[in-house]
Amino acid sequence: MVGLLETVVEMGASDFAELVRSTGLEEKVMSTNMTLFIPSNLAVREYADDAESANQVEFYVPPGIARRKRDIDSGMYEERSMESTSSMKEIVLSHMTPGFVGVEDLYDEQMNVDRKKEL
């Protein structure tokens, strides 16, 4: 049987799988019956770009999937280094809910109104 995170990678969401690992949530994901709402690699990278350009956070993208940024003055490329793991953990946790949630249980624009609790 293929593991959950391996399935996530096969689905084209390897960035999210790496975020689960890098924030220390792999054990929780593997040992708890939960539903994951998994963003695509493109969504993770666009969020990182938007957050960085808005100067809100230094968004952690694990090595190997980090994008390169070109320095306008020197013309050289540098890897983006993003280290805010605690806020990343909160973001990853916001994509999880205990138990099984089927598509029939969801409706448009549904959100958790009590942001103090994990879903």
Domain assignment present for 116: no
Domain for residue 86, yes or no? yes
Task: Tell me which residue range forms the domain holding 73.
Answer: 4-105
d(CA 6, CA 20) in angstroms, rounded, equals 12
The pTM of this model reads: 0.62
Using alpha carbons, select from 79, 84, 91 the residue that is nearest to residue 58: 84
pLDDT tens track for 8-19: 999 899 999 999
Tens digits of residue pLDDT in 41-93: 999 888 888 777 766 555 555 555 555 544 444 444 444 444 445 588 888 99
Domain presence at residue 93: yes
Q: What is the 3-state secondary structure (H, E, C) of the chain?
A: CCCHHHHHHHCCCHHHHHHHHHCCCHHHHHHCCEEECCCCHHHHHHHHHHHHHCCCCCCCCCCCCCCEEECCCCCCEEECCCCCHHHHHHHHHCCEEECCCCHHHCCCCCCCCCCCCCC
CB atoms within 10 A of CB 69: 14
The count of domains in the chain is 1
